[in-house]
Amino acid sequence: MEQLEIRVSGLGGQGIILAGFIIGKAASIFDGKEATMAQAYGPEARGSACSSQVIISDAPIHFPYVTESAILVAMSQEAHDKFIDEVTPGGMVLIDETLVTPGNLPEGTLLYKVPATQIAEDLGRKIIANIVMIGFFAACAGVIDREAMRKAVADSVPSAAVDLNMKAFDQGYEHGQKQVELQ
């Protein structure tokens, strides 16, 4: 695998940093790959744009920051609009269609949509939309083993919330599998 640059983006309070952390943890600890993660917040923190930059590779990573996103995960319109121009042509964009209307996609970009926030609300906790999105990412991107992702989720959330988070992950993953089959 060549180096894969991923930007997970949204608003402060959506669990964007945790999502990037879980992706990196799944890759490095549970799937035997190299990974780095960096984070950026807007000055207001909660409610402003934030992102998590994850790089995954089979070889050592020498620069830990995303320069061009092969994959953009956007969980808010502001994040989509801010980061869409850095997606590589032929890259992949994953959006929470509950909150994001896509636009200005680079040529050849694969677009995948999931109602992550709606699924999370249907499960009873809007706060787990990030975990729905992680499951969706796992299915669409196919770069990290599903079980490695599940282990990273279970290892990263409070023990009392593991079952609910596993349901969120699985629903996101199943939605992603259906999207990939349609492409």
Domain boundaries of the chain, sorted by first residue: 4-182
Topology (CATH level 3) of domain 4-182: Pyruvate-ferredoxin Oxidoreductase; domain 3 (3.40.920)
Using one digit for the tens of pLDDT, what is the confidence trace for 134-182? 999 999 999 999 999 999 999 999 999 999 999 999 999 999 999 999 8
Q: Are 125 and 171 in contact (CB under 8 A)?
A: no
What does the alpha-carbon distance between residue 91 and residue 89 come to, in Å, rounded to a whole number?
A: 5
Maximum alpha-carbon separation in the chain: 44
DSSP letter (8 states) at residue 105: P
- In this prediction the pTM is 0.94
